[in-house]
Amino acid sequence: MISSVSRFDRTVSGTGTGTDPGSAAPDAATAGHTPSDTSEADSYSLSPTDSPCVAVCSTLYDDICRGCGRTAIEVANWVFMSDEEKKAVWVRIRAQGYPRRKLP
């Protein structure tokens, strides 16, 4: 098993609410927010919440995917991460030269 984090407890980055992410209503801070509202999102060719997966999954013993640059934990929990958590991952992997694909 890759992670002991359940889908109902997003504690990977310490921002989990402990509620089912499918039933949670958007909070006031993110209501009406779009990726183009932030300057960091302007550097993305794709929406920063899109998965950086390039279908070349290989961690080669160091827990970092050679295709997208995410850790195995980030890959496993991507669908449960908040938009802000995903944006933080995108910022880090872009700074490291990932994902290893041509972006439109």
β-pair partners for 26:
none
Q: Which residues contact 57 (CB under 8 A, 6 or more apart)?
A: 65, 67, 75
Q: Whole-structure pTM over 0.75, yes or no? A: no
Residue-level pLDDT at 54:
85
101 in a domain, yes or no?
no
Q: Which residues pair with 71 in a beta bridge?
A: 64
In-domain check, residue 28? no
> 51: pLDDT confidence band, cut at 50, 70 and 90?
confident
The Cα–Cα gap between 9 and 56 comes to: 28
Give the model confidence (pLDDT) of 54-80 as tens digits: 888 887 778 888 889 999 999 999 999
**Helix ranges (DSSP H) in 1-104:** 72-77, 83-95
Task: Measure the CA–CA gap between 78 and 49, rounded to whole angstroms.
Answer: 9
pLDDT digits (tens, 9 = 90+) for 31-50: 444 444 444 444 445 576 68
Over residues 84-92, mean pLDDT: 94
Q: Has residue 8 been placed in a domain?
A: no
Tell me if 5 is assigned to some domain: no
| Tokens read off for 103 | 């972006």
Higher pLDDT, 7 or 71: 71
Per the structure, the complete domain to which residue 63 belongs is given by 39-95
